A and B are shown apart, each in its own frame.
Chain A
């Protein structure tokens, strides 16, 4: 295994996995607490449609992924705010529409393009130095903004109306959160793929949720679980020659079920249903 670590590509993959794992799991805390899980899924498929359009037209795929991702979250946020439609309905419609567009764009390509499928299923072992730089820059941007607005983000996740009433610019913070979710999805697209990025956002935070009653600890646990499962998943992938995305996600899922089983919350709640 030590031989493996000597390779440049392996070092790059592990670094990319650690960054994406950390980023997804930290934003995941806010996604899980604010109830935006489905938004993450919808955004990743929209971003993939952007990638396919990029390859079809010869435009920069990541740029279009950002445009598609942002358009999706902003429309979703706007619709929710207006109260016109339930969030799961609007995101469901956008989710399937953008996926249809993605499939259409792939169909319109004259030749088979393996790189496009890399964005769908993830290919962390083929991350280039340039891509690593992009991942690092976007990760620093997103984590920096999360840190800067952490207290407001926690407050709107707990109770958005209460936050607004007590003088926090809650609407703007909500749209910031949606924007950061979209950016995170785009950062992670190449590494874990459109299908699995959502799991990277959801699972570590949900695992940590089982283990603590404190917001600060929740974030710390989630980040730790996210980074460790991503790095270990890449090592498993390289050692046993299995695809990296599924290796990371299945490992994270295993940790999740273990945490559910040993959750202190589970132990204290068996009779809750009868308490009233």
Chain B
């Protein structure tokens, strides 16, 4: 843990939620610039809460959270604009009248501030973001007419249009077919390498990301483990968190086996 670098996100004994219902308890965690961090844990383990906290949408009820050297409750809008966010895939109204380019342009609004209209420069940034995710040829298409995987790419482009330092993705592969899942993860890896982004990726799919991330953070209301995948994905740790027996195969893949189901 003795890292000479300064962390850009620092949780210091931070708890989140309500006093009577704590979603995350006593989290101490440093995230450094340029890291690719995977956040895993069972349903209801506080993964999305962690994400909302880093976005400045939740202040800690105990402890401290510093983002860019700034206490979270002092986080101003222009700080938030430095964090690109891909929310958990909600239901996109297929008929919502918005084009791909209009969607990506929304990423510019926070950084622009009130009263300012997006200009040529903003449009170029949005088009560049679309190019980065390989969707530039769809810029005038209706968002609702795209496939799920394509929509995720557009939403990632919207996050990139903020010109963020940190990219947070909340279960970006949920609901996508296997090819689209791989493509999205590859894209995130590419953006991390190319743009030197700090990436926080929340997922259930440990197999999909274990070879991509620098560190895994394993949550279940508390911080169970944080470190390189090899250190976190140990049967005894996973058993504690998931309450099931997990087998690590020769290829170092993790398979969840529900013993109660088989016996």
Contacts and interface: CB of A to CB of B under 8 A. Distances in A.
A binds B: yes
Interface of A: 33, 148-149, 151-152, 154-155, 158-159, 161-169, 209, 212-218, 265, 268-269, 272
A212 B95 CA distance: 9
Contact of B109 (A151, A214, A216, A218): A151
Nearest to A29: B97
Given A165-B57, A167-B111, A168-B110, A158 B96 contact: yes
A24 B84 CA distance: 35
B142 A167 contact: no
A167 B106 contact: no
Contacts of A167: 77-81, 109-111, 162
Given A168-B77, A214-B99, A218-B97, A158 B115 contact: no
A151 B122 CA distance: 13
Nearest to B168: A165
Given A149-B114, A164-B57, A167-B78, A214 B97 contact: yes
B156 interface: no
The A interface is mostly helix, strand or loop, or mixed, namely: helix
Given A148-B115, A152-B114, A209-B95, A166 B109 contact: yes
B221 to A, nearest CB: 21
Interface in B53-73: 55-57
A158 B98 contact: yes
Contacts of B111: 167
A162 B104 CA distance: 12
A215 B87 contact: no
B96 A33 contact: yes
**Chain B interface mostly:** mixed
Contacts of B159: 166
B113 to A, nearest CB: 8
B83 A165 contact: yes
B94 interface: yes
Interface in B143-194: 143-145, 159, 162
A161 B56 CA distance: 12
Contact of B98 (A161, A214, A268): A214
Contacts of A215: 97-99, 102
B107 interface: yes
B250 to A, nearest CB: 36
B117 interface: yes
Contacts of A154: 106
B87 A162 contact: yes
Give the interface size class of chain B. 35 or more
Interface of B: 55-57, 77-81, 83-85, 87, 90, 94-99, 102-103, 106-107, 109-112, 114-115, 117-118, 141-145, 159, 162
Q: Give the residue among B81, B90, B110 with the most A Cβ atoms within 10 A.
A: B110
B99 to A, nearest CB: 5
A154 B114 CA distance: 13
Nearest to B86: A162
A166 B94 contact: no
A37 B232 CA distance: 49
Contacts of A162: 85, 87, 106
B55 A169 contact: no
Contact of A161 (B87, B95, B145): B87
A163 B109 CA distance: 8
A33 to B, nearest CB: 7
A212 B111 CA distance: 28
A240 to B, nearest CB: 35
A214 B90 CA distance: 21
Contacts of B97: 33, 209, 212-215, 217-218
Given A209-B97, A213-B97, A166 B81 contact: yes
B95 A265 contact: yes
B149 to A, nearest CB: 14
Nearest to B78: A167
Given A161-B87, A212-B97, 8 more contacts: A158-B103, A165-B57, A166-B81, A167-B79, A167-B81, A213-B143, A217-B97, A269-B94
8 nearest A-B residue pairs (beta carbon): A167-B110, A213-B142, A167-B81, A167-B80, A166-B110, A167-B77, A165-B55, A165-B85
B213 to A, nearest CB: 22
B80 A165 contact: yes
A159 B56 CA distance: 17
A215 B97 CA distance: 6
Contacts of A148: 115
